[in-house]
Amino acid sequence: MELTPTLMGDVVELTRAICDVESVSGNEKVLADAVEVGLRRIDGLEVHRDGDAVVARTHLGRAERVVLAGHVDTVPLARRADGSPNLPVIVEGEGPDAVLHGRGTVDMKGGVAVQLHLAATVAPTDLARDVTYVFYDQEEVEADRNGLGRLAATHPDWIAGDFAVLLEPTAGRVEGGCQGTIRVAVTTHGVAAHSARSWMGHNAIHDAGRVLTRLASYLPREVEIDGLLFREGLNAVAISGGIAANVIPDRCVVTLNHRFAPDRSVANAEEHLRELFDGFDLDVLDAADGARPGLDHPAAAAFLAAVGGRAEPKFGWTDVARFSGLGVPAVNFGPGDALLAHRDDERCPAGQLTGCADALRRWLTTPSG
């Protein structure tokens, strides 16, 4: 596949073409090569390559710089209802009513196509702000392979900006920021004994009752940040204890997951849990900071005005937190319905592709108020 100006000029055909270049995580090279070559042909873009990540930037000397980012990998292919693989893409219908069926149409080569289309079709003179286009690899696998994480560590200057839009599928809604997450193990300790002589031991599972009642009575915070209401949560996601059917258990482990609003750091969240479970043995298993929506930034306000609708908070942890970690507020906004991502019948209406491209074009070309 070659990213010719003609192909890049039609966002629907472009989506179809880049979906048909299979790029399951770890196998992005062919597509990344095509993206790099296509971007290098465009006047006024500085292009960088790191592994299978490609970054292209304008240098117009505008007051603001915004970032459009998307991952070029997909989850593995699946089979359609008729047993055939879900690539190449099948198009049903025509024109604005067409629907593209196949792997990546939603998550997220539709968004990647919108980025490429904008890079190729918005004249630099029309841009109200400088733009950085980021195409990265290995988002659908373990966090330590993530291409955006690699760029943040090795070339933070390439992806710096005042505001970022991650073109993950949101079906046209704006999802701002994301909650942080921390997982801890709370362990109770007892003394094993034969269950026929239970008074010789001490039951660690019974002690876990105090952990669970504390969880059941916990009132999670609701916090408004940059106009978005974040709802926290604190939940046991696993519990295990027991040695044998006739033995008083000497150990019980409750695994908790706390999702916290982005006004708190991981350190704050850990401190909160240690206060809540004071007197219990608590170990942190893993944690990640959240991200503030950053909707108070002028570029963000202009973005919301251009794309319309109301922003909503993002509850799950997403790559917007990586931008936030670099001091770049970020939102999710892209074509496709996230509920169809990863499914065998993944599919995206052509109208969402053109609609998303039009909204972002309005924004990129409209000065901040």
Could you say whether residue 219 binds a second copy (CB under 8 A)?
no
How many residues belong to the site for a second copy (CB under 8 A)?
48
CB of 210 to a second copy, least distance (A): 7
Largest Cα separation within the chain, whole Å, is: 84
Could you say whether residue 215 binds a second copy (CB under 8 A)?
yes
Q: Which helix (H) or strand (E) holds 213?
A: helix 204-216
Strands 163-166 and 65-71: parallel
Residue 343 tokens read as 């499914």
Going residue by residue from 316 to 335, which x/- string records binding to a second copy, judged by CB under 8 A?
xx------------------
Which residue, 37 or 212, is less far from a second copy as judged by CB? 212
What is the 8-class DSSP label of residue 197? G
Which residue, 165 or 211, is less far from a second copy as judged by CB? 211
How many Cα atoms sit within 13 Å of 185 on the Cβ side?
12
Task: Give the footprint of a second copy on residues 248-267 (CB under 8 A).
Answer: 248-249, 252, 254-255, 257, 259
Which residue, 121 or 257, is less far from a second copy as judged by CB? 257
Q: Which helix (H) or strand (E) holds 241?
A: strand 233-241
Going residue by residue from 167 to 186, which x/- string records binding to a second copy, judged by CB under 8 A?
------------x-x-x---
Q: Which helix (H) or strand (E) holds 248?
A: strand 247-248
Could you say whether residue 223 binds a second copy (CB under 8 A)?
no
Stretch that binds a second copy, among 35-43, 68-76, 100-108, 191-199 (CB under 8 A): 191-199
Task: Please give the full DSSP string across 263-307, using - where no structure is assigned.
Answer: TS-HHHHHHHHHHHTTTSEEEEEEEE--B---TTSHHHHHHHHHH
Going residue by residue from 193 to 212, which x/- string records binding to a second copy, judged by CB under 8 A?
-xxxxxx---x-xxxxxxxx
